Structure 1
Amino acid sequence: METKTVITALAALAQESRLAIFRHLVQVGPEGSAASKIGEALDIAPSSLSFHMKELSHAGLVTSHQEGRFVIYAANYTAMNDVLGFLTENCCGGNVCSPVTACCEPATTTE
């Protein structure tokens, strides 16, 4: 992972509402959640939520897709794991000090 990409991701998370949104989506799991449900759970107005989702999406931390009239957002676990890996790759002087396992790797589907 490139340093610039990590900086963009960390900058997106360096705001209270965006960090709360991302943590909520991680907790929800790979199936994600409708924007309206995210706003209700975190008490964030739709206009603010839209702005924050745009920032998280731009940073590559969330994905979205349309389901009927709803936009479903999900944490991008690959990006999250890449950031964590980048932050820990030189841990303990380059020696592995604890196993780092990927969290919630998305299932691969064939279409």
Structure 2
Amino acid sequence: MLLSVVETHRQGVRLSRDEIRAAEPILGQLVINDWREGCSVGRALRVAYLKHPTISYHPHLLHPLFEPVIVRMTSTGFLLTGMQICVVGQTEPVEVAQGWWVRQNQ
């Protein structure tokens, strides 16, 4: 299913409603699965990816969302929140809060 996704945070800071409404949605296929390789305690992490809608070998359209949780669902879509790993400037990677507003593509 082709979905329309808008990020709700920028580098861990929540965007305003107006910024979220004005953002250009990214179209892709939402895939959520377990990831065991990166976890030191051997438990699986849940990871959400937004994949290219037609090209399977294309890189992910957004940075992966770790430990995603649906926190709100409406008749128009749902809000998926979790953590992303990003690099700001020349610093070490850090985990930041991220959310995806997900809707079915019209």
Which TM-score tier does this pair reach, normalised by the shorter chain?
under 0.3
Relative to total residues, which structure has the larger helix share, 1 or 2?
1
Higher strand share: 2
TM-score by length of 2: 0.26
Q: Highest CA radius of gyration, 1 or 2?
A: 1
